[in-house]
Structure 1
Amino acid sequence: MDLEIAGKRALVTGSSAGLGSAIARLLAAEGASVVVHGRDVSRASRVASSIGAAGVAIGDLSTDAGADAVAAAAGDVDILVNNAGSYDHLGWTDATPEVWASTYEANVVSAVRMIQRCVPGMRARGWGRVVQIGGGLAIQPMAMQPHYTATLAARHNLAVSLARDLAGTGVTSNVVAPGAILVDSVRELLTTIAPSHGSGDSWEDIEPAAARDLVPNDVGRLGRPEEIAAAVGYLVSPAAAYVSGATIRVDGGTIRSVH
């Protein structure tokens, strides 16, 4: 496909592995000058080298100093994909207020930092794309991970507020909400817990069982990183100029909602 983003400069936060690296790879393949972000130089550099990225930006976005360093390395960004974040598997009993605060800092305030550093330049140039990676749990949370799902809801909310603020500027703000995506950490987790769930020993048995019992959806499998990247690709392209303040769910029908 031709997304017509050749020559645009893109920063994908948290792109040294997993979903972020798939997004960075697609944008680079479409001709964008991609800056790979991470906290580990060697991991980020490996991804950057493999996709022909324009550069690497290293920094912890949960701090102002880290965000400053990343923004300086990224330069004038036309496309900002806020993918970086953290999660755990704690529930209400174990997620202390300190855990809530640190998760919010990593998943929400980090995105705000990059928006405030990158979007003014987009606004001045009259063109830009901002995409938050959210999730269906933002609107249909479960009992586990309450602190994490609350941060997803905040990401969705801030994206709409930003879209309103950017009205008429040529800059759009949207959300891509993945379902359960087959990245290495998810595969490892499902393989580890498969015996206790009676899901079988082979991945051919484990994946459909997980899609049936743990993360039910209408497709019967987990999503692939490339499928999330494709949705991001659409939103950052000129074809999506009329889309702002929207959420695109890529979850196989996990979320049962008409809204």
Structure 2
Amino acid sequence: MDLKLKGKRALVTGSSSGLGEAIAKLLASEGATVIIHGRNSEKAGEVVNAILNAGGLAELAIGDLSTDEGADAVATAALKSGQIDILVNNAGETSHKSWGEATTEDWLSIYNNNVVSYVRMVQRIVPQMKKLGWGRVIHIGGGLAIQPIKEQPHYNATLAARHNMSVSLARSLKDSGSTSNVVSPGAIINPMVEEWLQNAAPKFGWGTDPEEIKYKAVQELIPNDTGRFGEPQEVAGAVAYLCSSFADYISGSVLRVDGGTIRCL
């Protein structure tokens, strides 16, 4: 299927690794010029080179989105060679601190990194998007925004804020030709998660086989209807769909990619 992204330019924040990298590479494979963002120029440059070597189009934008100055640098680099049609707000941080561990400084820091950083890029990219008459804003959220758990309350709250602000943005984009949506991943496997599973396996009695560990972790910690972890490419596919012309009539929505973990109407 042709998603009709050829000629579009997409800025994917936090795309030097992980989920953002998977999103960027899929958009590039669909013909979009992708601006790879990160704080480490070497890591981000490796992703750019991988896309170029695969026949895609990619550029580089380096900066720390937790500051206005860093966001200015990223926006300037992204817009240097042309307009931005697609903004995927993905950059952020996680924290596993509990109510008793997370200080007020932790709450302020993670809100700045996970919410205000999104706002910074919306403020710098969306105004020019409105003038184009077509645009896409995708915010990466999460199931904990809808059904928070007792752990990591400050992180859960930032996901809820992302969902809320995305719908508010959709309302403000009325009649502009641009849309705003959330892709809400469940438990997605990545090297960091795999390392945590290996370290946690002895505590939970999950054995030593990596596949057995993943299976038991899903059954005990994140039961879902597919019985497995998700893959980064599956989240990337949802993002790509919402970026396409097939999603022109979708705005202010939350697309859950979680195997049925979140069970609500």
For the superposition of Structure 1 and Structure 2, which TM-score range results when normalised by the shorter chain?
A: over 0.9
Selected match of 2:101 from 64, 71, 94: 94
Distance 1:139 1:225 in 2: 21
Q: How does 1:138-157 map to 2 (within 5 A)?
A: 138-157=145-164
Query: Does residue 73 in structure 1 map to residue 80 in structure 2?
Result: no
Task: For structure 2, list consecutive stretches of 5 or more residues without a partner in the other structure.
Answer: none
Instruction: Look up the match of 1:257.
Output: 264
- SS of the residue corresponding to residue 88 of structure 2 reads strand
Query: Does residue 12 in structure 1 map to residue 12 in structure 2?
Result: yes
Instruction: Look up the match of 1:107.
Output: 114
CA offset at residue 78 of structure 1? 0.5
CA offset at residue 203 of structure 1? 1.3
Q: How does 1:239-254 map to 2 (within 5 A)?
A: 239-254=246-261
Instruction: Look up the match of 1:174.
Output: 181
Distance 2:6 2:94 in 1: 33
Instruction: Look up the match of 1:25.
Output: 25
Q: How does 1:91-240 map to 2 (within 5 A)?
A: 91-240=98-247
CA offset at residue 204 of structure 1? 1.2
- SS of the residue corresponding to residue 89 of structure 1 reads coil
Contact 2:51-2:58 at 8 Å conserved across structures: no
Distance 1:26 1:2 in 2: 12
- SS of the residue corresponding to residue 65 of structure 2 reads coil
Contact 2:11-2:86 at 8 Å conserved across structures: yes
TM-score for the superposition, normalised by structure 1: 0.98
TM-score for the superposition, normalised by structure 2: 0.96
Distance 1:57 1:192 in 2: 35
Distance 1:209 1:177 in 2: 23
CA offset at residue 190 of structure 1? 1.0
Give the partner amino acid of 2:175. Answer: G
Give the partner amino acid of 1:251. Answer: D
Distance 2:21 2:14 in 1: 8
Give the partner amino acid of 2:30. Answer: E
CA offset at residue 126 of structure 1? 0.4
Distance 2:226 2:210 in 1: 17
| 4+ long deviations beyond 3 Å | none
Instruction: Look up the match of 1:64.
Output: 68
CA offset at residue 191 of structure 1? 1.2
- Give aligned-pair identity as a percent: 60
Give the partner amino acid of 1:175. Answer: V
- SS of the residue corresponding to residue 103 of structure 1 reads helix
- SS of the residue corresponding to residue 166 of structure 2 reads helix
- SS of the residue corresponding to residue 111 of structure 1 reads helix
Distance 1:161 1:240 in 2: 18
Instruction: Look up the match of 1:45.
Output: 45
Distance 2:260 2:215 in 1: 14
CA offset at residue 7 of structure 1? 1.0
Note the aligned Cα RMSD (angstroms): 0.7
Give the partner amino acid of 2:134. Answer: W
How many residue pairs end up in the alignment?
258
